Amino acid sequence: MSDIARETSTSVSTVSRVLAGGAVSKRISKETREKVHEAAKRLGYRPNLLARSLRTRRSNTVALLVSDIANPWFGQLASTIEKNLHDKGYSLFLCNSAEDLKRESEYLHLLPQKGIDALILVPLLKSKKVLQQHLPPTLPVVVVDRPVQGVNSSVSSDQDMLANQLADSLAKIGVKKIAMANGPAHVSSHRRRAEILTQRFEVLAAFEGPSKRETGQAAMKEFVAKGIKPDAFVGTNLFLTIGMLDELNIPAIGQQMLPAFGCFDQLPFHDLLPMPVACAIQDIAGLADAVVRELMPLLQPNAPEPVPMVVPTLMSYNRAYLAKTGG
Amino acid sequence: MSDIARETSTSVSTVSRVLAGGAVSKRISKETREKVHEAAKRLGYRPNLLARSLRTRRSNTVALLVSDIANPWFGQLASTIEKNLHDKGYSLFLCNSAEDLKRESEYLHLLPQKGIDALILVPLLKSKKVLQQHLPPTLPVVVVDRPVQGVNSSVSSDQDMLANQLADSLAKIGVKKIAMANGPAHVSSHRRRAEILTQRFEVLAAFEGPSKRETGQAAMKEFVAKGIKPDAFVGTNLFLTIGMLDELNIPAIGQQMLPAFGCFDQLPFHDLLPMPVACAIQDIAGLADAVVRELMPLLQPNAPEPVPMVVPTLMSYNRAYLAKTGG
DNA sequence: TTGTATGCGTTATCAG
DNA sequence: CTGATAACGCATACAA
């Protein structure tokens, strides 16, 4: 800036005002304004955003800390949030806690020091305490996907709607009795999903374990061993469902007799499966939009009290399902 | 810092030296050192990393600009790179160009101004010119996955090895005739893959288009319409292969007669598929390691001339394939 | 061993 | 309309 001030025989302040644009630059004579712009271009001037942020205490940068960026679901979420934020003039600083609580608190500690304007968090932590411990109380925070007790600025899917839509869809093709592979009951979303399904159907068998592929496999093994014949198998999570499918030897059973499947999250390639499959999926674009709508007011001077947002869910069916319902 | 200087009756520089740690702090008396640390903790001092970077011209932050973070392949790559960099004491600023050339140049322009120490890039651009146009010549850059003419600091997979491994694997299960869905021929990796497969097999049909799911669908539609019966379908890209699978109505065809599939990149959940599937995959961990090994020297004062790194590839098979080869 | 003074690149305040 | 000057928070050369 001092270079271009010298070149144009003006002062650094004038240069700053011109380059600031907007109302401030209008108060500078057209002549010098053009001189400055010309010199800036000629010298290849690039503002130092660190210095600017240091001075203005604004960086136009929002951090997003996700629990696992290798998970395509979060990849899509991050991608959409970034797009939305970019439209509002913010850059996204994307970080990954990799399902590691230690990494999460490290980032929670580090990010505010890097001069971010706000934080969007897919939390691993379960208590508000950790947040308060690491984050300055003034930093706007939006919690996504997994509500945290006591944090009002949160965006998540309507878990009850999700489970009920799935139940509706299964009921529609005549399902009455199910067998379930459940994730850990201490995780609220798994518990709630299981509760609702239990209300809506007769549960012939339920198998609980960590939400991994192996649990689904073990569940299916047990169901087969016990000779359980439900109208549908349901997993409270994508990995559990896939595990069950792993153990289901489709050619051996014979395709006509296959029970249906109910799944949370989008099952890849479900059109390749011969039995009816209904997937209850969380609306990623809807969540991303809601995040930005929740966040923007918090960035304004007189921030209103935030209120949790709940996003409607969607269903997805495979061809075999649609063939059965006739459309 | 001035607060804690006042509390401890010392000066800001003393506080700075103590908090800097390492050799500098050793030259301060143990007494005052402890006083300072105590006060820092008591006052909840957090260094302002913007100010520090402004002064030292180092941010310990590396930017990674990927072409599509919603693509799980890049998600995994980003995740692994972040882990490696974190171990070396660097934070990762992850950005997404979302397959959009305009977004890419915006970021290319913006990132250096944010005070990053280096840039890792999965480029959309094909010419070195754009890089030179936006990036300061002093900024260390590593190009990943897609080599750019004239850029030596690059890390990529061995494309010839990749295609030949896939061909070997298909030949092993008796494949002689294939039908292909090809990505754009002007993209070097797609072209090279197609060339090698054409050398190794009889190509009954080939369909070219942008590397999107829709192209694979269109390809399969055409193959079916023309009554083409290959021993295997091959897509030169994950999305092309998935698109072909979308259109393949397995129940209608009958599982015994299904052709095999050859795929580049890891097809998710390929164990759900009844036909043999061979995937030629790029070693993500290997690439991520190479990126860091390529980058670290560039961050040192007397950077040696970088040399392009080529990483070996891997194969992955589904159960149906392994059953056919006997393990 | 420690304090003083200066500067990193910007913006903001206050004169004029 | 414009120019000095201070300040953002920190690190460091130079003194003491």
Residues B150, B292: one domain?
Answer: yes
Residues B75, B148: one domain?
Answer: yes
Task: Return mean pLDDT, chain B.
Answer: 93
| CB contacts < 8 A (A, B) | 135
pLDDT tier at B186, thresholds 50, 70, 90: confident
Q: What is the helix, strand, coil percentage profile of chain A, to 5?
A: 50, 20, 30
How many percent of chain A have pLDDT more than 70? 97
Which residues does chain B have within 8 Å of residue A110's beta carbon, measured at their own beta carbons? 49, 91
Tell me the nt nearest to B46, Cα to C1'. Answer: D9
Overall average pLDDT of the A86-104 stretch: 94
With respect to residue A168, please indicate whether it lies within any of the assigned structural domains.
yes
Residue nearest to nucleotide D2 (CA to C1'): A14
A54 → closest Cβ in B50, B61, B70: B50
With respect to residue A52, please indicate whether it lies within any of the assigned structural domains.
no
Residues B295, B172: one domain?
Answer: no
Task: Return mean pLDDT, chain A.
Answer: 93
B79 → closest Cβ in A96, A115, A250: A96
Task: Write down which residues 52-81 in B have CB closer than 7 A to strand D.
Answer: 52, 54-56
The yes-or-no verdict on residue A252 having pLDDT over 60 is no
How many percent of chain B have pLDDT more than 70? 97
pLDDT of residue B255: 54
The yes-or-no verdict on residue B50 having pLDDT over 90 is yes
pLDDT of residue A257: 65
Q: CB-based burial of residue B31 (10 Å sphere; 0-12 exposed, 13-18 middle, 19+ buried)? A: exposed
pLDDT tier at A188, thresholds 50, 70, 90: confident
pLDDT tens for B64-76 read 999 999 988 999 9
With respect to residue B226, please indicate whether it lies within any of the assigned structural domains.
yes
Sheet holding A91-96, edge to edge: A309-311, A154-157, A141-144, A118-121, A61-66, A91-96, B91-96, B61-66, B118-121, B141-144, B154-157, B309-311
Q: Which domain holds residue B146?
A: 61-157+284-311
Q: Contacts from A280-283 at CB under 8 Å and sequence distance 24+?
A: A280/A162, A280/A163, A280/A165, A280/A166, A280/A169, A280/A313, A280/A314, A280/A315, A281/A313, A281/A314, A281/A315, A281/A316, A282/A145, A282/A157, A282/A162, A282/A311, A282/A313, A282/A314, A283/A157, A283/A311, A283/A312, A283/A313, A283/A314
Residues B135, B253: one domain?
Answer: no
> Is strand C within 7 Å of residue B11 (CB)?
yes
* DSSP-derived secondary structure letter, A11: -
Number of domains forming the structure of chain B: 3
Give me the CATH number covering residue B118.
Answer: 3.40.50.2300
Residues B307, B270: one domain?
Answer: no
pLDDT of residue A272: 77
CB–CB contact B70 A68 (8 Å): no
pLDDT of residue B258: 81
The yes-or-no verdict on residue A40 having pLDDT over 90 is yes
With respect to residue B217, please indicate whether it lies within any of the assigned structural domains.
yes
B115 → closest Cβ in A50, A91, A250: A50
Residues A298, A265: one domain?
Answer: no
The yes-or-no verdict on residue B256 having pLDDT over 80 is no
pLDDT tier at B302, thresholds 50, 70, 90: confident
Most confidently predicted of A110-119, A251-260, B223-232: A110-119
Residues B21, B163: one domain?
Answer: no
CA distances to B6, B34, B39, B54 from B11, rounded to whole Å, are 7, 15, 13, 21
3-class DSSP assignment, residue A210: coil
Q: What is the pTM of this model?
A: 0.91
pLDDT tier at B272, thresholds 50, 70, 90: confident
Q: How many other C-beta atoms lie within 10 A of the C-beta of residue B301?
A: 4
Residues B121, B191: one domain?
Answer: no
The yes-or-no verdict on residue A136 having pLDDT over 60 is yes
Give me the CATH number covering residue B16.
Answer: 1.10.260
Residues B210, B246: one domain?
Answer: yes
Tell me the nt nearest to B50, Cα to C1'. Answer: D9
Tell me the nt nearest to B33, Cα to C1'. Answer: C1
pLDDT of residue A95: 95
Task: Write down which residues 2-41 in A have CB closer than 7 A to strand C.
Answer: 2, 12-13, 16, 19-20, 24
Residue nearest to nucleotide C1 (CA to C1'): B28
pLDDT tier at A269, thresholds 50, 70, 90: confident
With respect to residue A55, please indicate whether it lies within any of the assigned structural domains.
no
Residues A122, A184: one domain?
Answer: no
Rounded Cα gap, residues A247 and A218, in angstroms: 8
With respect to residue A84, please indicate whether it lies within any of the assigned structural domains.
yes
Q: How many other C-beta atoms lie within 10 A of the C-beta of residue B41?
A: 10
With respect to residue B184, please indicate whether it lies within any of the assigned structural domains.
yes
Q: Are A189 and A211 in contact (CB under 8 A)?
A: no
The yes-or-no verdict on residue A312 having pLDDT over 60 is yes
Q: Any idea which of A239-243, B84-88, B170-174 has the lowest mean pLDDT?
A: A239-243
Q: How many Å apart are A9 CA and C4 C1'? A: 34
CB–CB contact A114 B50 (8 Å): yes
- Give, to the nearest 10 degrees, the angle between helix B213-225 and helix B238-247: 50
Residues A193, A320: one domain?
Answer: yes
Residues A152, A90: one domain?
Answer: yes
pLDDT of residue B16: 96
pLDDT of residue A152: 95
Rounded Cα gap, residues B80 and A23, in angstroms: 45
- What are the residue ranges of helices labelled H in B173-312? 188-200, 213-225, 238-247, 250-253, 284-299
The yes-or-no verdict on residue A255 having pLDDT over 60 is no
The yes-or-no verdict on residue B252 having pLDDT over 70 is no
